[in-house]
Amino acid sequence: MRFPSPVFSCFSLKLILSLAFVSIANSALAEDAALTPEVTLRLPPTASNPRNSEGDFIELKDGRVLFVYTHFTGGGDDHASAFLAGRYSTDGGKSWDATDTRILENEAGFNVMSVSLLRLADGRIAMFYLTKHSLEDCRPVVRFSKDEAATWSPPVAMIPDADVGYYVLNNDRVIQLKDGRLVAPVALHNSPEWEKPDWVGRVLCYLSDDAGRTWRRSQSILQAHAPDSGKRNLAQEPGVVELRDGRVMMFVRSNAGSQLVSHSSDGGETWSALAPSTLQSPTSPATIERIPGSDRLVCVWNDHANIAAELRGKRTPLSLAISEDEGKTWHPSITLFDNPDGWYCYTAMDFTKDAILLGHCAGDRTKNNGLAESQITRIELDALTSGQE
């Protein structure tokens, strides 16, 4: 979940977060820190609920935290029926409701899934999600809440019928820039005009300058190519983060050995060519967000630098690293979870006053498809800075 800068204007919150994270920059943290992530909620599959995945957080004005996720009922694959469910926490993510609250029923042919929650600069909450009708019609929509997620407006279409296609908007992906523009990064994989789907993918953004009432497509539509052969590489599941100088950085899942990156100097209208990054990874999405009130970026991803041969291509381990140079380099990563059969991905990130909350898939490939189970992981800021002076 991302917040526009006005929400975090409080000096005390900036000071707390900045001081708490200052020691992470020291590379010794990655080597020596005794960090123990706390799993505060598990969402395991059941016979009637074979998969729980792709959620996001929002902090409510009464102090509660709401986690909304995709609750599957018709199977464990991406096209099975599903609705949006929620769990509430009253203690900053240390504990959660034992049962679901139904947030949104299935309103599409296949399912509704993949949630992004965003506190807008005007105070409303925006909830973005995919409405998956068919392999030729999967598009994101957005609803708004003026009463802290108690009720929601009718859905607003982000992609018109003229541009119908199979689009992927990952969970926890939509951001609001300092100037108020909303940026929703998507990957396009199919169109009724095409002879066949393009699962390799091409990435673009949908933009709104009126707080989500209307949307338009970015000028740039990017594909990835191998520098040596020119052969297309995967370009899927993009994310975006605003940089200090006003540019926007896009990061993209690929099979090229790392996350691919692109930059925009005009608020997401046009983008540079996709290029490799220093975030070595399998074909798995990353999540990058700015620590509120600081100059540091946090990345959670599957770090495959020096990965063992038997783990290549797998979505393990789950790692965390910090960048102090706007994503050019990342400090040696902290391993959060490293089950060799684990499947860690689709991470939502939220910052409370004293912790980072991560909502992510954490299945076991020996027991399920890996996406079947999600969990919420809480990391105390004190744990991240323990032993550092």
Say what the pLDDT of residue 274 is: 99
One DSSP character per residue, 129-196 reads EEEEEETTEEEEEEEEESSTTSS-PPPEESS-GGG-SEEE--SS--EE-TTS-EEEEEEEEE-TTSSS
349-to-158, 269, 316 alpha-carbon distances in Å:
24, 26, 18
Q: Give the pLDDT confidence of 315-330 residue by residue, as tens digits.
A: 999 999 999 999 999 9
The residue with tokens 């990563």 is: 333
Q: What architecture does CATH give domain 37-384?
A: 6 Propeller (2.120)
Q: Give the pLDDT confidence of 270-325 residue by residue, as tens digits.
A: 999 999 999 999 999 999 999 998 999 999 999 999 999 999 999 999 999 999 99
AA letter at 338? D
Under DSSP, the state recorded for 13 is H
Q: Return d(Cα 65, Cα 68) in angstroms, integer.
A: 10
Contacting residues for 299 by C-beta, under 8 A, at least 6 apart? 279, 286, 287, 288, 320, 321, 322, 323, 327, 330
Q: Give the pLDDT confidence of 27-50 residue by residue, as tens digits.
A: 434 443 457 899 999 999 999 999
Output phi, psi for 312, to 5 deg.
-60, 135
Token pair belonging to 54:
């792709």
283-to-185, 212, 263, 357 alpha-carbon distances in Å:
18, 31, 21, 24
Among 4-13, 255-264, 320-329, the range scoring the smallest mean pLDDT is: 4-13
Nearest to 350 by CA among 186, 163, 116: 116
Q: Return d(Cα 65, Cα 351) in angstroms, integer.
A: 11
Kindly state the helix (H) or strand (E) to which residue 113 belongs, with its residue range.
strand 111-119
3-class DSSP assignment, residue 17: helix
Token pair belonging to 35:
């960090």
Q: Return d(Cα 327, Cα 249) in angstroms, integer.
A: 8
The residue-averaged pLDDT of 94-112 equals 98
Say what the pLDDT of residue 383 is: 61
AA letter at 1? M
AA letter at 61? K
The residue with tokens 């605003």 is: 242
Asked if pLDDT for residue 338 goes beyond 90, the answer is: yes
Sign of CA dihedral 315, 255, 50, 107: positive
Q: Return d(Cα 306, Cα 252) in angstroms, integer.
A: 21
282-to-204, 278, 370 alpha-carbon distances in Å:
22, 13, 15
3-class DSSP assignment, residue 161: helix
AA letter at 204? L
Token pair belonging to 168:
């992927």
Quickly count: other Cβ atoms within 10 Å of residue 338's Cβ.
Answer: 12
Q: Give the pLDDT confidence of 190-246 residue by residue, as tens digits.
A: 999 999 999 999 999 999 999 999 999 999 999 999 999 999 999 999 999 999 999
